[in-house]
A and B are shown apart, each in its own frame.
Chain A
């Protein structure tokens, strides 16, 4: 379970405050969507949960299963179960995707006191997960995300999510840059991971993604706060009326 209480955040080297006392809970097994206009702080929220250093937390706490993650480095948060699917996955030239996947899986296992994966087991797991997402073997040998299309990068994020098996998944604008077929594949990948022990926080501008990943809860974010919470029908309402009534233009 993810609990965010009165979170106040600014950009580290600037005075600009982005999150202004945000409260949010995502229960195990819940798929929560956050919708909101550009600049409302959605991506900042995802980065702050994952542990990016460019922000300063002025107040509040983020608890994962009761434990405050704000004291942890990004890697420790990952090992604790937080996974952020990036809006713009980074290209890492020179690092083969397989090498990276193995390093990431083993680093998390090590942090949890587990033995390293044996190579045959690792390859079996990767191949099975890659097949489901339609990821070609050739892509796994290429440097991580280098020269991948937008759709390939997002599929690679979901592949990592599947392999690392986190308890709290944050999807930051996962639908951006995807055509309708890629969106369907990615959404199916996410849906396959829905589980009573796993929470999802799906950040998006558009209702479109939520046709494919149907949320239990929809939160509206504006000016660094959650301003309205409802069921999945709230997303449809927003699609019609826009964000204007929440004090911001889309």
Chain B
């Protein structure tokens, strides 16, 4: 009898070797160790996700990762890293990761507000705290994702933030994740935010690279938010090396009568796959997932999300805006799952894309999986060009074509960004939009469709 052994790619073989070599020194007690082993076994059975898997159809990670880079095992705090940090204008508690490793010296730990506690993930993993495995596992809808499994197996560090009951933070907590980028490395990091009942906060994740060497980054952030909490997450991924490949997972479990919003801004991010796995754990809550993707050159941005309405009376809103020029590719795959007893669910999902020229591509795949009968759910996906009549109107008032285009594009992105509650963060995002548009204008790119 022939035994079929699936062929492993070079990258998969390297990852297997890396896990074998490093699992003894990766942080964590017995429970975490078991989590890692199970996750890696899952990865090993399935391999890197590829285009024949429906959820990875448009981002073939197996093909993208020809070789797995060496694991980053420490923070390379270069001058370029310090310069990037200095250039970042955003107030609030700053928690810095360099190459996926928490760097307390670069963080502003003196600014930790009352009612907030911060640990590195590696400390938290060895802490034997109760429920740690549950927190790390996140919503079940993400459990069989091999990209996430790899993160679970190999996560080295990150931050573990807890916000106490009833705390209302006026300033955001900013998690800055910098790739030193002085050599090609693979980085596996994960952060956790536990927001207790009634707490309110804005958590900003800024992900940038200080050097040009291509990185393979697999990051995750886990939210568990309590009843009546209001948490806003804003992710900014920009200034990455063009040849970088990234997977960023967002896992969120949201309590009752709570609000959870996540907004992701993506520009100059190489190849990026974002995946959001979000679950309503309590009734009468609102979840909003939104984002803006600005793509040029050969960039690739994939937003794949699953919203799990596990309980009744949940409201979810998704709105993603993609502007794709050059030879770039945008992907939106959204799935809203409404479980049999999740009556009175109100869901609305939209993905709007503007293609700036013939070479750009957008894949839109919204899905509803509804098992309850008393729900209001809808989705809409559009792919269009810049409206020629709008452009003519603006030009007829004297705006040169590039400026008219920039105004239309800025407004298009702004429709999603306006949901960012924190004014400074919103301004920072719109500033990034403007700077992207200026770079495009400077390169004399105008739409050709």
Contact = CB atoms under 8 A, between A and B. Distances in A.
Interface of A: 50-54, 73-75, 77-79, 83-84, 86, 89-90, 92-95, 100, 103-105, 107-108, 111, 143, 160, 164
Nearest to B406: A103
Contacts of B408: 92, 95
A53 B386 CA distance: 14
Interface stretch (B114-122, B303-311, B410-418): B410-418
Contacts of B396: 50-52, 74-75, 77-78, 83-84, 86
A92 B393 contact: yes
A94 B397 CA distance: 17
B392 A74 contact: yes
Interface in B377-402: 387-390, 392-401
B399 A103 contact: yes
B397 A78 contact: yes
Contacts of B403: 103, 107
A94 B393 contact: no
Nearest to A84: B396
Contacts of A95: 407-408, 410-411
Given A50-B392, A92-B408, A164-B398, 11 more contacts: A50-B396, A52-B392, A53-B388, A74-B396, A86-B396, A89-B393, A90-B393, A100-B397, A104-B399, A107-B399, A107-B403
B397 A92 contact: no
Contacts of A160: 397
Interface in B176-234: none
A146 to B, nearest CB: 10
B404 interface: yes
Contacts of A51: 392, 395-396
The 10 tightest CB contacts between A and B, nearest first, are A94-B411, A74-B395, A108-B398, A78-B398, A90-B393, A104-B397, A107-B398, A75-B395, A94-B414, A95-B411
A108 B398 CA distance: 5
Interface string B402-442: 01100110111011000000000000000000000000000
Nearest to B403: A107
A111 B396 CA distance: 13
B401 A75 contact: yes
A111 B401 CA distance: 13
B321 to A, nearest CB: 10
Contacts of A54: 388
Contacts of A103: 399, 403, 407
B395 A73 contact: yes
**Residue among A79, A92, A94 facing the most chain B CB atoms (10 A cut-off):** A94
Given A94-B414, A103-B403, A78 B393 contact: no
B400 A75 contact: yes
15 contacts: A51-B395, A52-B396, A74-B395, A77-B396, A78-B398, A83-B396, A92-B407, A92-B411, A93-B415, A94-B411, A103-B407, A104-B397, A107-B400, A107-B403, A111-B400
A103 B397 CA distance: 9
A92 B398 contact: no
A193 B408 CA distance: 30
B393 A75 contact: no
Contacts of B389: 90
Contacts of A53: 388, 392
A78 to B, nearest CB: 4
Given A51-B396, A78-B398, A107-B398, A94 B415 contact: yes
A248 to B, nearest CB: 27
B395 A92 contact: no
A50 B396 CA distance: 6
B411 A93 contact: yes
A75 B399 contact: yes
Contacts of A111: 398, 400
Contacts of B414: 94
Contacts of B412: 94
Contact of A104 (B387, B390, B398, B410): B398
Contacts of B388: 53-54
Contacts of B395: 51, 73-75, 78
B411 to A, nearest CB: 3
Contacts of B398: 75, 78-79, 104-105, 107-108, 111, 164
A160 B400 CA distance: 17
Nearest to A104: B397
Nearest to A86: B393
Contacts of A90: 387, 389-390, 393
Nearest to B390: A90
B430 to A, nearest CB: 11
A73 B393 contact: no
Q: Which of A74, A77, A90, A103 has the most chain B CB atoms inside 10 A of its CB?
A: A74
A104 B407 CA distance: 11
Interface string B87-130: 00000000000000000000000000000000000000000000
Interface string B59-95: 0000000000000000000000000000000000000
A160 B393 CA distance: 12
A84 to B, nearest CB: 5
A75 B404 contact: yes
A54 B395 CA distance: 14
A94 B390 contact: no
A190 to B, nearest CB: 17
Contacts of A75: 395-396, 398-401, 404
A93 B407 CA distance: 10
A164 B393 contact: no
A164 B398 CA distance: 9
Contacts of A94: 410-412, 414-415
Q: Which of A50, A75, A104, A107 has the most CB atoms of chain B within a 10 A radius of its CB? A: A75
A53 to B, nearest CB: 7
A232 B400 CA distance: 38
A50 B411 CA distance: 24
A147 to B, nearest CB: 14
Nearest to B411: A94
B390 A164 contact: no
A77 B392 CA distance: 12
Contacts of A83: 396
A77 B400 CA distance: 11
